[in-house]
Amino acid sequence: MKKSRIGVLTGGGDCAGLNPALKWVVKTAMDERLESERGVRYEVLGIHDGWKGLVDIDPATWDGTGNITPLNPDIVRTWDRYGGTMLGTSRYSPYDPQNECSNLVIENIQKLGLEAVIVLGGDGTLAIATRLSREGINVIGIPKTIDKDLPETDYTLGFETALNVIVEEVDRLRTTAGSHKRIFVIETMGRNAGWLALEGGEACGAYIILIPEFDFSFERVNELVMEGRRSGTRYEIVIVAEGAKPVGGTEIVKNEETDSFGRKTLGGIGEILAQEIEKGTELETRSVVLSHLQRGGAPCAYDRRMGRYFGIAAVDLIVNQRYGNMVAFKNGEITSVPLENIYGKLNLVDPRTQYDIDRYNGRRTILDSGK
């Protein structure tokens, strides 16, 4: 029987759903029944800490370095129950101009004898996979990010679990907000995409939702808050995406430094907004930043299922030698798209069709796309 060795890594921010996908990559690749059907026996190496794990190794003694672990169905049996990533992750780019080492990564992939590498990542990690693919490395992508901002797929692992965190935390905040007649501003993650804020806000029934794709006015927010109070509400829940900004303003960054993917860390708009609301309405207002809570915890049922489907599909792509593709979920089906089609692109909320620009909320009409 032909033997083949594949690698798998998780890069960028962690999220729930990675471990279920890892489990199903390993189980599918090493399934004995499928082995005889395919005529190939796969070996799966887990690469630790994202792309960094392919820099810092000695391929001659790869099993002794700690960055590479051979995986098997026994090892991954319970992984789908856990959040985060058992392989570890990093925001490390071998194409970082400050520390370019893509040749070393390519050399190590070859020395490890990997026929292909399955890469679980968001836009930064998958952009690296695309560039390596251009240089002749066989890669398969699996979309993950709580931001849900990857194009060509209706789902990215981690998103639903993060939404559940938002709903749970807002439910908790409602009791204290109501007791004190306070306004709560809740800042969600999502970088420059509003999906988490919009769909999280819709799911928890937020009164106001502010997204990066539509600049808001402080005056309009205050007007809406006062309108709510006049109609008899005791408290308001305002969800603001970390990348949202007021008209004429810029997004708020935590610090000016960029990471290896060239990105700044966003955060802080929630507190600024809370102060503006309190000033403008004279109503007691507090802000809460949900931050990394949205990435933590056990994967919800949907992420376990999607992780499973994506993991299986990634191995199917390898079996069929359809390298350079990302598995995707489109119109209710598991499918695949060329990595080149997503390179450098983002999937953002379309405020014209998916947002109520007057009431700063989700829409209350479902557009008939057939017309």
Catalytic residue numbers, as ranges? 147
Q: Supply the minimum distance, in Å, between the C-beta of residue 145 and ligand F6P.
A: 5
- The beta strand positions in 48-95, using DSSP E, are 68-71
Query: Helix, strand or coil for residue 240?
Result: strand
Q: In the stretch 4-23, what mask flags binding to ligand F6P with x, by CB under 6 A?
A: ---------x----------
User: CB under 6 A: which stretch of 79-87, 103-111, 183-191, 322-330 binds ligand F6P?
Assistant: 183-191
- Please give the Cα distance from 276 to 289 (Å, whole number): 16
Query: 217-255 as b/e, with b when 16 or more CB fall inside 10 Å?
Result: ebebbbebbeebbeeeeebbbbbbbbbbbbeeeebbbee
Which span sits near ligand F6P by CB under 6 A: 30-38, 176-184, 185-193, 306-314? 185-193
Residues in 197-236 at the binding interface with ligand F6P, rule: CB under 6 A: none
Q: Which of 85, 93, 145, 287 binds ligand F6P (CB under 6 A)?
A: 145
Of 192, 176, 195, whose CA–CA distance to 184 is shortest? Answer: 176
Outline where the chain has alpha helix (H).
18-29, 32-38, 73-76, 102-111, 123-134, 159-180, 195-204, 218-230, 269-281, 301-319, 339-342, 351-354
Q: Identify which range of 64-72, 145-153, 301-309, 348-356 contacts ligand F6P by CB under 6 A.
A: 145-153
Number of neighbours of residue 5 by Cβ within 10 angstroms: 16
Q: Does 191 bind ligand F6P (CB under 6 A)?
A: yes
Smallest gap from Cβ 156 to ligand F6P, in A, equals: 10
**Residue 265 lies near ligand F6P (rule: CB under 6 A):** yes
Position 295 contacts ligand F6P (CB under 6 A): yes
Examine residue 308 and tell whether it contacts ligand F6P (CB under 6 A).
Answer: no
Question: Which residue in the set 68, 146, 197, 208 belongs to the binding site for ligand F6P (CB under 6 A)?
Answer: 146
Task: Say how far apart CA 345 and CA 123 lie, in whole Å.
Answer: 8
Structure tokens at 64: 């002794």
Which residue, 13 or 83, has its beta carbon nearer to ligand F6P?
13
Does 122 help bind ligand F6P (rule: CB under 6 A)? yes
Q: Are strands 183-188 and 236-241 parallel, antiparallel or unpaired?
A: parallel
Is there binding between residue 304 and ligand F6P (CB under 6 A)?
A: no
Q: How far is CA 132 from CA 125, 126, 250, 273, 301, in A?
A: 11, 10, 34, 42, 33
Query: Is residue 44 within 8 Å of residue 8, measured between CB atoms?
Result: yes
Cβ distance to ligand F6P smaller for residue 23 or 191: 191
Does 190 engage in binding with ligand F6P (CB under 6 A)? yes
Give me the amino acid identity at 344.
G
Q: Which is nearer to ligand F6P, 57 or 342 (CB)?
A: 342
- State the binding string over 85-114 for ligand F6P (x if CB under 6 A, else -): ------x-----------------------
How many residues touch ligand F6P under the rule CB under 6 A: the total is 13
Binding residues vs ligand F6P (CB under 6 A): 13, 91, 122, 145-147, 189-191, 242, 265-266, 295
